[in-house]
Structure 1
Amino acid sequence: MADTASQLMLGSGLTVVSHPLMYVKMLVQVGHEPLPPTLGRNLFGRQVYQLPGLFAYAKHIISIDGKMGLFKGLTPRLCAGAVGTVVHGKVLQCYQNQNQLEELGSDQKENSSSLDHVIKETTQEMVARSAATLITHPFHVITLRCMVQFIGRETKYNGVFGSIVTIYKEEGVLGFFAGLIPRLLGDIISLWICNTVAYFINTYALENGAVSEMKSYSQAVTGFLASMLTYPFVLVSNLMAVNNCGLAGGSLPYAPAYTSWTDCWRQLSLEGNTTRGNSLFFRKVPAGKSYVYAQKRFY
């Protein structure tokens, strides 16, 4: 119980601190560029036109809504974090109890470094994460829609309970799970890539003496690479969560009414936008688009 409480407190603190970053990222993901590109230098010192980064974008939001404006959608996100932590912990606890019973009934103790053990642990973690995502996705949808309201200055989604009523009246139960499939797929693929690649690195690429010291580093590196590879799933999920929901940010000129998440993926691929919002620094104007074109398109 104490562990769950500490996890909730830590998770809530991290959520509050990271919320402005997620807010800016979401607005960039839907294609909202309220500030003109500026001439800057890339990592190699070459002059290029750059779109505003995290801090410039956040400053723009503050100039309109004040500092508290950076925390739109925080309440439903905190709800999602709290409920998700409890569900995730409960599912894993059930698996731990089951594993203990299996160990008592077996003479052989499973090798924690074996591939079978990694597959078993990853499968259990996948189920726990998927259960938490499924339960909390309605809060995630509300969070994103509260954020996107900044674009059209709407107040349609106001508060958790008011948003629940609005979504149910307009879209029914399915409205609470808009964008769920690509989100689940991205989480599952990322988890398996991270754990399996880390296993093979620790087992075959590192010497036995270095495994314990380097294990955490290899896990972090593979986690980062996995998140990069599966980012398009995150983007498509977020776009589908706000698509055609009655907000300016989910309608043209930002996005057409996608028929499905695969249709959204296909159109983003054709436009070369599957990584939009992945980086909030050194954001160059898309290739082939001049500064004047960017002005016409974005502003």
Structure 2
Amino acid sequence: MSDEGGVQRGSLLERNGVPAAGATSVDVDTAMLLLGAGVTTITHPLLYVKLLIQVGHEPLAPTLGTTMFGRKVLYLPGFFSYARHIVRVDGKRGLFRGLPPRLVCSSISTVVRSKVKQVVPREDFEHVSNRDDLKTSLRKVVKETSHEMVVQCLSRIATHPFHVISVRCMAQFVGRETKYGGVFSCVVKIFQEEGVSGFFVGLVPHIMGEVIFLWCCNLLAHIINTYAVDDNFSQAPAVRSYTKFVMGIAVSVLTYPFMLVADLMAVNNCGLAAGLPPNSPVFKSWIHCWRHLSREGQLFRGSSFFFRRVPAATAAVTLE
């Protein structure tokens, strides 16, 4: 009945010349929520395996292989081998450990982004080809990026507690713990043991990584579209439409260490085996964690799912 009433009210408004903006907004938000939930569910096994690799959990022995030049190297198991191991231990449902808080995280992010964009409207802009208008174009890029940064930061602050819960639920696989279960019980446990600050461990490097990614991606795309793509080129609009996507892939590699440190700090010293010696040192801060990973040459641990080589020092000892 309520749905029919909403449709009738929307039709009446449209007949009177008033667009049913509220109904359209709700429909779009609902569609985005469902789409986000679907993508989160489908990609969760990938992020689960990635998290376990990030915390340094390697339950499977490396295999001997050769490079294209014939040199012998040791390869760590890829995604499919790792996923099969999780299924053998926990069954197929085990691949979705930590999914509920990620779904909450995705839903909150969608709602926050929608509300912020309503309060602070985004101003669309087009590429400016005239060199006399470069300053104007750059100002628009800066303004657009600043708006995106505000949305991203507010979204991250609102969702980070659930990100911490999800990471800890997944990290329990390492020590086979059952400390973190349902979302509500996790909230109560973290608050009792660590207070409010426990929900925001790793927030600083996470936000820093996202802000650096956003600015580098947008500015590099603007510079390339302005100086490298000729307006006389017939495919210039098509090239410009993909520039930001390509820059995103490149910049994400550079900002990956921030995401790694954020995830490690979310697990560190929380009572789980994955965040305690001998699996991991107890870090005093995220900077301490960064320096440790840098010394060990592990700042990009977990950035690849395939063709993961054993670190050179470990491989040399094993091969001998």
Q: Given the superposition, is the C-alpha separation of residues 121 and 247 from structure 1 closer, same or farther in structure 2, using an over 3 Å criterion?
A: same
CA distance in 2, matches of 1:206, 1:44: 38
Quote the residue 2:221 is aligned against.
Answer: 198
CA distance in 1, matches of 2:68, 2:171: 31
Q: Given the superposition, is the C-alpha separation of residues 293 and 9 from structure 1 closer, same or farther in structure 2, using an over 3 Å criterion?
A: same
CA distance in 1, matches of 2:226, 2:164: 40
After superposition, the C-alpha distances for 1:103-136 in whole angstroms (9 at most, x for unaligned) are xxxxxxx766411111101000000011000000
What amino acid does structure 1 have at the position aligned with 2:245?
A
The higher relative CO (CA closer than 8 Å, separation ≥ 6) is in 1
Deviation at residue 274 of structure 1 after TM alignment? 0.3
SS of equivalent residue, structure 1 residue 50: strand
Task: Tell me if 1:160 matches 2:183.
Answer: yes
Percent identity between the two aligned chains: 53
CA distance in 2, matches of 1:213, 1:266: 42
Q: Do 1:49 and 1:291's aligned partners in 2 also have CA atoms closer than 8 Å?
A: no
CA distance in 1, matches of 2:144, 2:28: 20
CA distance in 2, matches of 1:3, 1:167: 34
CA distance in 2, matches of 1:49, 1:271: 18
Superposed counterparts of 1:111-150, under 5 Å:
113=128, 114-150=137-173
Deviation at residue 211 of structure 1 after TM alignment? 3.2
After superposition, the C-alpha distances for 1:206-244 in whole angstroms (9 at most, x for unaligned) are 112433101232111100111100000000000000100
What amino acid does structure 1 have at the position aligned with 2:65?
G
CA distance in 1, matches of 2:151, 2:144: 11
> TM-score, normalised to structure 1's length?
0.91
CA distance in 1, matches of 2:284, 2:249: 31
Quote the residue 1:80 is aligned against.
Answer: 105
Task: Tell me if 1:232 matches 2:257.
Answer: yes
SS of equivalent residue, structure 1 residue 15: helix
CA distance in 1, matches of 2:254, 2:147: 22
Q: Given the superposition, is the C-alpha separation of residues 133 and 38 from structure 1 closer, same or farther in structure 2, using an over 3 Å criterion?
A: same
SS of equivalent residue, structure 2 residue 73: strand
CA distance in 2, matches of 1:43, 1:203: 39
Quote the residue 2:21 is aligned against.
Answer: none
CA distance in 2, matches of 1:43, 1:24: 27
> TM-score, normalised to structure 2's length?
0.85
Task: Tell me if 1:218 matches 2:256.
Answer: no
Larger Rg: 2
Count of residues in Structure 1 that have an aligned counterpart in Structure 2: 284
After superposition, the C-alpha distances for 1:44-95 in whole angstroms (9 at most, x for unaligned) are 6643210000000000000000011000000000000000111012112222
Q: Given the superposition, is the C-alpha separation of residues 293 and 178 from structure 1 closer, same or farther in structure 2, using an over 3 Å criterion?
A: farther
CA distance in 2, matches of 1:69, 1:111: 47
Quote the residue 1:249 is aligned against.
Answer: 274
Unmatched tracts of structure 2, length 5 or more: 1-25, 129-136
